[in-house]
Structure formats: C-alpha cells, structure tokens
Structure 1
Amino acid sequence: MEQPLRGVKAGPPLEVVIFATMGRFCEDYHGGYWECVPCQWCIFIYRFTSRTLTLFPAQ
C-alpha cells in the first residue's frame, strides 16, 4: 500500500486554481479547456461555443 506524501497539504486541484486565475485576469477567457505548451510557453484555449482555438503567447 502506498503511503501519502508527508508535508504536502491538501488543497484545491491545480485545474481549479488555473481556471479561476484565467477567469480573473484574462478577459478573453470564458471557460473551456486550456493547454500549455512548455517549449513555446504559450497557452491555447478552446472555446466551446464558437469552436475556435485562441493562442496566448508568453510576454
């Protein structure tokens, strides 16, 4: 049986934090899936309603 990691406090899932942050600081984000591409450091957001993919490059 695996032991839980000691010293790591339970918190909200990372996705919840990311979606909440995007909703607060990015006026173009209104919910949807996101994907981070580490090699280019950008975020893609797929919009459900218009079926479009928006690119947010790193600044």
Structure 2
Amino acid sequence: MVERMTPEAFKAECKRKGWTGRALAERWSKSEAWISRIGSDPERDLHWDDAVRGLPDLKCLNNS
C-alpha cells in the first residue's frame, strides 16, 4: 500500500511536476486557498495524494 504523503511531499510533488497552486486550482476547479488547505493537511483524504501523483508533468505539456 502506498503511504500517505506528508504536506511537504505533497507540495514537492506538485512543484516537481511544474504545478503552482494557481494552476492546480484552475485544473481542479477549486480556489487557491482550498488547494493550500488540502496541501497543508496531513490528514487529507488519500484520493488527493493519488491525484497529485497522477498529475501530468506540466513542463512536458507546455512543450507539446
């Protein structure tokens, strides 16, 4: 089973894939504040960790 991401790991994975809070909020139709709250919550629902792990690499998308 995959372990829950820490808030730091959640944010680092977003950054590694080139996603900002603003871009992620737009992609998921949420507010930037909501994205920040979810990212900072160590008890967030696991499907949000799965969603971040499954995000496309934004740098690759922009180069396509």
TM-score interval for Structure 1 and Structure 2 normalised by the shorter chain: under 0.3
Q: Which has the higher contact order (CA 8 A, sep 6+)?
A: 2
Pick the structure with more strand per residue.
Answer: 1
Please report the TM-score for the alignment, with normalisation by the length of structure 1.
Answer: 0.27
Structure 1 or 2, whichever has the larger Rg, is 1
Higher relative helix content: 2
